[in-house]
Amino acid sequence: MSLRALSVTAVWVLVAAGCDARIEVPPPMNVDGPPPGMGQPPAMIPPGIIPVDPPTGGGTGGSGGTGGGSAGGGTTLPPARVPQFTCDAALVAPELPLRRLSAAEVRHAVQQVVGRAAPTSGAAVLTALEPVFTAWPADQLLAAPGEGRGGYLQQDQAVQQAHADALYELGGKLGALFTSSTARRTEVFGACATDTSTANDATCLDDFIRSFGARVLRRPMTADDVSFLRQPAATTPVDPAALADVVALILNSPEFFYAVEHGQPTAAAVADLGPYELANRLAFHFWQTPPDDALLAAAASGALLTEAGYRAQVERLSADARSAAALDDFFGHWLRLDATPELDTFNGTPQFAAFAGADLPTASTRAAVIADVLESARHQVAQGGSISDLLKDRHSYAKDAVLARLYGAAPWDGTSPAPEFGSPTRPGLVARAAFLVTGAAKTRPIHKGAFLRNALLCQVLPAPPASVNTTPPSPSATATTREAAETLTQTAGTSCAGCHKALINPLGFATEGFDGLGRARTEETIYDTDGKVLAKRAVNTASVPGVLAGDPTPSTGAGDLTRLLDDSGKVHSCVARQLFRFTASRLETPADGCALSRLEALALQNQPLLALWRETAMLPSFKQRRFSP
């Protein structure tokens, strides 16, 4: 059988295994119902797992609440954060079809196996493979129903012809690179592949398949594996072309592209994962790479199947610097940092230049704005910080000179303790530049409010009417941006007023103490298109955010809003939900209430973010495979 026939067969097996090209996901569970008099939001799940907010002051929860605190000098807050999830062990959670590797995981897997097989020339091989990685189909963020943005790349399970083509090209090119010279073949396959003896050729090939195949397929090779994978070599085991075909075939195996899991033998509908399957789940979850030697050794010895051995690996992997990439993905996707606008687009216009003044952004400012949020998250994880600490972190992680000036702080060198924000009115996360910048000479309070409601509180907003005006309101000589937004969206009797007045605008108005570049302000300077000042008007940051449904507690600005968010526990529950989605690569269902409750309990108690991160791998569902009936 030819390589092409074998490879195409393998690819078609791969595609057939994932023929349900996109996983059907259930609708998200809505936390709060709509305000009185409004229609139901789309895609609500029947009540049961997540209740609407209990009456103010009621309920029980974690001990992390700040009971009795007040914001804005108003109503006393509930005495405890109230759990949003309930556990019903009788419900059965769905099982995902075969999960394919993400583009990043494919890249990391190839980097690891190439580094192992060719420790001397591996860098040159990977450089030559870069065009293949660059052309690899990009994963898409899949927003949950009812969310305008958001989602996680690993939830994208679409399998396209482009994936099969890219995989075929990857295998063929790697095979050609591994056999491109005598020296390269000796390094990769061993001296037995280039010596003058033919007596050792078959053993040489089989040994390579066992070692290289185990790395690529992330499990030990069986005799059947070796027999199948050596077929392209036929009667010429170490011929360069035959060796290249074997490499290509191994890379085209479904078990490279998919996380194939059988579970340990059982007659039950739920099977515990085997040691190598567990090792793969752990490594890809925490590092986005295949298992390292220590994890494989724990799998081989059986230690990974013991409670102590498993926990030791969870702690090792989660504390390792290699977990930074996965954590960045989680925080970046949850907080929708990809939506940060370009900031230097209008630098050449008189209006924006006059607005920015000495703080004109550069081409690198956007990246610095995103990095500032990620550095805050990294710092909290590393230092034992909690969700509350993340919300209230007042340190600037701006290495970019422009962003540092916007924060009124000295640039951070990346190693010394980060300086605090220069303005006392900047309370932490909600006032970081990433959530304030617009790339224009005005703010976008509606956009900010929708983001806070949807992303930080995990609340689904009703769909806007078909006739909605999507042009952001602009200030004028007689109206601030807030006043323009109120006129446009809060006029009594219109279809916009219900959502905007109760759910969206109040959250956005709380951060109007910062301009479109994220600078603290007490008044809004309004410019015409020629950069001429039309007016200066005091900004109004007072609102009733309604973080808890029906809560009339007033807020005077971002500081009060931060306290309300923290005291409510809603952000904490939202983080638990988002961590579950990130870990399970799917949306939650009512049957996932036990897992969600377990994560939420730690979050509401303000346990360290690192403890939450580790707990995702301690969930029973993480260590099991469910078989469809």
CA atoms of 176 and 378, how far apart (whole Å)? 41
> Which range, of 7-21, 120-134, 358-372, 531-545, averages the lowest pLDDT?
7-21
How do beta strands 523-527 and 533-538 pair? antiparallel
**Tokens 């306290």, located at residue:** 563
443: tokens are: 């703010």
Residue by residue, DSSP assigns 169-201 as HHHHHHHHHHTSSHHHHHHHH-GGGTSS-STTH
The string over 239-257, giving b where at least 16 C-beta atoms fall within 10 Å of a residue's C-beta and e elsewhere, is bbebbbbbbbbbbbbbbbb
Going from N- to C-terminal start, the domains of the chain cover: 3-23+100-258, 271-319, 341-530
pTM of the full predicted structure?
Answer: 0.86
Per-residue pLDDT of 98-121, as tens digits, reads 899 999 999 999 999 999 999 999
- H or E element: which one contains 626? strand 624-626
- Beta bridge partners, 514, equal 520
Residue 196 has pLDDT above 70, yes or no: yes
Contact call for residues 490 and 544 (beta carbons, < 8 A):
no
Contact call for residues 607 and 383 (beta carbons, < 8 A):
no
Residue 569 has pLDDT above 70, yes or no: yes
pLDDT top residue among 40 and 192: 192
Per-residue confidence at 132, pLDDT binned at 50, 70, 90?
very high
CA atoms of 566 and 392, how far apart (whole Å)? 9
Per-residue confidence at 628, pLDDT binned at 50, 70, 90?
low
> Residue 121's Cα: distance from chain center in Å?
33
Per-residue pLDDT of 6-59, as tens digits, reads 444 444 443 343 333 322 223 333 333 333 333 333 333 333 333 333 333 333
Contact call for residues 329 and 152 (beta carbons, < 8 A):
yes
Q: Would you give the end-to-end CA distance of the chain in angstroms?
A: 37
CA atoms of 193 and 202, how far apart (whole Å)? 10
Per-residue confidence at 388, pLDDT binned at 50, 70, 90?
very high
153: tokens are: 């790349």
Residue 73 has pLDDT above 80, yes or no: no
CA atoms of 616 and 343, how far apart (whole Å)? 36
Q: Which DSSP state fits 500? A: I
Contact call for residues 433 and 372 (beta carbons, < 8 A):
yes
Tell me the one-letter amino acid at 360: L
Beta-carbon neighbour count of residue 47 at 10 Å?
12
Of 115, 82, 113, whose CA–CA distance to 209 is shortest? 113
Of 1, 73, 31, whose CA–CA distance to 600 is shortest? 31
> Which range, of 122-126, 209-213, 259-263, 295-299, averages the lowest pLDDT?
259-263
Query: Residue 283: its pLDDT value, please?
Result: 98
CA atoms of 156 and 254, how far apart (whole Å)? 17
Of 517, 519, 525, 527, whose CA–CA distance to 341 is shortest? 517
Beta-carbon neighbour count of residue 42 at 10 Å?
14
Per-residue pLDDT of 315-369, as tens digits, reads 999 999 999 999 999 999 999 999 999 999 999 999 999 999 999 999 999 999 9
Contact call for residues 287 and 296 (beta carbons, < 8 A):
no
- H or E element: which one contains 381? helix 365-382
* DSSP H helical ranges for 24-151: 103-117, 122-135
Percent of the chain exceeding pLDDT 90 equals: 75
Please name the residues in contact with 602: beta carbons below 8 A apart, sequence gap of 6 or more: 576, 611, 612, 615
Percent of the chain exceeding pLDDT 70 equals: 87
CA atoms of 593 and 45, how far apart (whole Å)? 13
> Where in 513-615 does DSSP place strands (E)?
523-527, 533-538
